[in-house]
Structure 1
């Protein structure tokens, strides 16, 4: 077949990054990531440019070491700036929500790479998402919601250790394993006093078994080793195992590069019935949330080896090895893609091929 890049000959791609915190929703706060994903946005833009895809940037000669030379803020002004420079595809490498500025441009002839904004807001809420998954027969850990008002009266229906986490979190930031009532009370009081995550927190049973992460891709046409392949349904990249946990939790990737604590499962492990079943469960979850771009689902086994889906991430981090000074920055999704023979650029080109009309 012809060069896959030919499919984008008319496309001019601009990458958006998060320039503002999402609105508070029912007292729940989703904190911004430092830099607002400008780092992964710059990785994406730089990698696409190396493939001779037309990338629109804020400056005419972007410096590979300066993230903000490559990405536009996800504000109305930022989007207008990208459009004024000729962008026809906006890559939504940002946290979306209902009434995000991108929705103001729905009447224009634009394509986007990313999720439906209102769906991201809905399914960023762990309560809503895990209830949806459980309703549809998917395994999720037992949980309870603790609010700033009920923290002294709430009954925890499972034994210690327990995991406390933000309801609208990001990766393992703000997540901790607690082994008794004293440390639980201390942690809750501290988190509520700081107010970083809002007026409620999510408490779930701790799963002591192996942790894996699965990236689920949306249906569509993909380029693979010179062939065009159509996937009629959601499909999974190979499972990535997490290791070197800190106090029972995989460290936040803003602190420890995932390449230092993550590896794709072996061929033998990938073919086990448990992992193959987990793929089907994650693909069902992706369909339930109507994913339009890759999502990442973190899963962990209990003491009996049964896997549970404990965190569905509508906006997986998409850093990758492209720029010279970031050679250890493959994301979990990029690691998984390499297992099927895709370089970071192959993953991005296939994501771009799933662009959809805003």
Structure 2
């Protein structure tokens, strides 16, 4: 069955940093081929050492290898590396989006360098002060199988209340266009649900979000309620968001390790596991955040998606599916149009005053 894009004769073109991540290029290439086989309306440009990448390909159908002579390593200083390593796989992949030869830029490499390439090469949407790094996490309450979106999760450690307002709009668009939620519930991450909780900045953010008529603001949400589906979109600053994300990931991994160690400690526990392994498998599936894809840098003039450095082929494939949704939904253009209109209206208002 053809997808909407395929029936329109359109192809989603993805520029891939084939050398980014702990398992590159092998797992990146495998993941791209899995995505190529699943999505007939996607094509891929793999940036990296030409001969090395070609040797890994099973076939090159809808895959083009573009030579990149250098790699930005995890330990490189991001901004300096983007400015000096012009022939790196990250810089060339981002440039492909800037020059409109690709619709999206994907990498599992140096996060700071991906953010810098997005900002300095692809550029911000007019009206956006700071893009927000956006991730999707699972809802695990009862039989729930949903998810929620959170931003910012690491792009901006320092912030202004205006940034939180813009994150709310960006997250609302993402919830509507990519997650398919007609009216996303937008919550502000805080240390209590009452309107007067938090520091001065959070109290001001609560007030401003409450006055916005273009989002469905439901108030403050606490971190302990995130996985219970307290909101569809959660907005916060990058420092808090990143710390919260890592706490969630670390807790999930620690709990799975603890359960595994207890099972292996006794014969009775092992027998119980055999009887309950389907349930354990289902829990593992729900908590596997990699199936939701990567983190999206919202607020740029192109789609930029970053996955974990440890990503394997399956995660790469899932992220390509996420990219397919983003491009098919028209999210980027809708964001550009919205903030263009908002900026024009602000100019009119200021002129009238």
Same fold (TM over 0.5): no
Instruction: Please say which structure displays the higher CA radius of gyration.
Output: 2
TM-score, normalisation: structure 1:
0.33
TM-score, normalisation: structure 2:
0.33
Structure with bigger RCO (C-alpha 8 Å, 6+ apart): 2
Greater helix percent: which structure? Answer: 2
